[in-house]
Amino acid sequence: MENYASSLSRLTGESTLLYQEIARNVERTKGIKTINFGIGQPDLPTPQRIKEEAKSALDKGFTAYTPALGIDELRSKIAEFLTQKYGDRISKEEVAVTPGAKTALFLAFLMYVNPGDEVILFDPSFYSYAEVINLLGGKPVYVPVNFDQNKGFYVDSNELLSKISQRTKMIVYNNPHNPTGMNFDSRLGKEIAEIARDRRLILLADEIYDYFVYDGEFRSVLQEPWRDNVIYINGFSKTFSMTGWRLGYIVARKEVINKVGILASNIYTCPTSFAQRGALASFDTFDEVKKMIDLFKRRRDAMYSELIKIKGIRAYKSSGAFYMFPDFSEVLKTAGLDSKGLAVKLIEDAGVVTIPGEVFPEKMGRNFLRLSFALDEEKIKEGISRMKTVLEKLAG
């Protein structure tokens, strides 16, 4: 039973979920009610119209297998929506519905990454990218996301160019960015797309946070020439607060989507039937989405206002997603801790869950903690206040 596939040993297994488990243990053993800045999902309920549509589908017996690529109505709706949003005529045949955006990412890596292939990631990055690349025998190659107190997080395109080799197969581009909350400016996004296109590299674009933009302009890869080399990933989890529904989608040229269908039919058969019916109603809920984004912007401002009161922390007001990624290097040096140790201490001593930057490979996040502001404003203020008390004790 322990003779596992050798590829399994390439996975670290570390994720944001580890710190949620530590928090549950603290609540159970110490009786402390934790405040969770580690959560990666909106705290608002799924819009009622979506739930009603899914209930109706269940009542009507829509519970059988669907096509592997998803029901035609939903694929057509996604294509129509993106066409209207970005101006390029996208067809139903260029869309695949998947059980979550994470599955969509896995399929994209599976289609293109061979053992020995190099895949460029921005450092820090969502932990699953590197995990899947390693599982497939590929090699993650990291381009640093730099931090400056005045200009925030930024990427140097020359550093990206310097990492491209003959073995490079793909660039993974996550915008808005998890964990930093950075929204790549449109000039840089355009430049990254051009680099991938000119070097004949696959550009895997993860735009799951595309509606969570508070400052500046968001530019999608679908606004660039994309059919020759782009795999576009998005989903319903964040925008419509449907994380547990597990629905994502891929947009790519028709020939690529046909390959997705082959993989899908062999791995998971199809996306969940009645969840897809519910997702059809999501396109009628953008009034509620706008209210959520406005709410999250106020929460972001509240978190930033509280964080900058703490001596030894360098915080920058994020422009996208729903995360802040403050620099704790001064605190860590004084306390003799790394970010993992500080995250555990904040859970155990303050009942506050954060995610250490070291979870997001590779090196650039090691002095940072990720804090989600997807929770009530009063809890944000209380949580930062608890953190402040612990951090001041650590500073002596």
CATH code (residue 212): 3.40.640.10
Mean pLDDT, to the nearest integer, of 276-282?
A: 98
Q: Measure Cα distances from 372 to 38, 149, 229, 273 in Å.
A: 6, 20, 33, 31
Report the C-alpha gap between 328 and 313 in whole angstroms. 5
| Same-domain pairing of 228 and 80 | yes
Look up the pTM and report it: 0.96
Task: Specify the pLDDT at position 139.
Answer: 98
Task: Specify the pLDDT at position 14.
Answer: 64
| Tokens encoding 192 | 């990254």
Task: Specify the pLDDT at position 6.
Answer: 87
Number of domains in the chain: 2
Residue after which a domain boundary falls, among 283, 316, 335: 283
Task: Look at the alpha carbons of 280, 281, 286, 289 in this order and tell me if their dihedral is positive or negative.
Answer: negative
**Using one digit for the tens of pLDDT, what is the confidence trace for 174-208?**
999 999 999 999 999 999 999 999 999 999 999 99
**Average per-residue pLDDT for the chain:** 96
Q: Measure Cα distances from 163 to 129, 156, 159 in Å.
A: 17, 11, 7
Report the C-alpha gap between 97 and 333 in whole angstroms. 46
Residue after which a domain boundary falls, among 258, 283, 308: 283
Task: Specify the pLDDT at position 333.
Answer: 94
| Same-domain pairing of 277 and 297 | no
Task: Specify the pLDDT at position 331.
Answer: 94
| Same-domain pairing of 153 and 268 | yes
| Same-domain pairing of 355 and 216 | no
Mean pLDDT, to the nearest integer, of 233-252?
A: 98
User: Residue 16 — pLDDT band, cuts 50, 70, 90?
Assistant: confident
Report the C-alpha gap between 167 and 315 in whole angstroms. 37
**Using one digit for the tens of pLDDT, what is the confidence trace for 354-384?**
999 999 999 999 999 999 999 999 999 999 9
**Using one digit for the tens of pLDDT, what is the confidence trace for 27-76?**
999 888 999 999 889 999 999 999 999 999 999 999 999 999 999 999 99
> Max alpha carbon distance in the chain (Å)?
64
Task: Specify the pLDDT at position 2.
Answer: 78
Q: Which domain holds residue 340?
A: 6-45+287-391
Mean pLDDT, to the nearest integer, of 138-157?
A: 95
Task: Specify the pLDDT at position 95.
Answer: 98
Report the C-alpha gap between 323 and 304 in whole angstroms. 11
Is position 252 within any domain? yes
Mean pLDDT, to the nearest integer, of 205-227?
A: 96
Is position 211 within any domain? yes
CATH number at residue 365: 3.90.1150.10
| Same-domain pairing of 276 and 301 | no
Residue after which a domain boundary falls, among 262, 283, 304: 283
Task: Specify the pLDDT at position 20.
Answer: 86
Task: Look at the alpha carbons of 245, 264, 78, 225 in this order and tell me if their dihedral is positive or negative.
Answer: positive
- Is the preceding peptide bond at 326 cis, omega within 30 degrees of 0? no
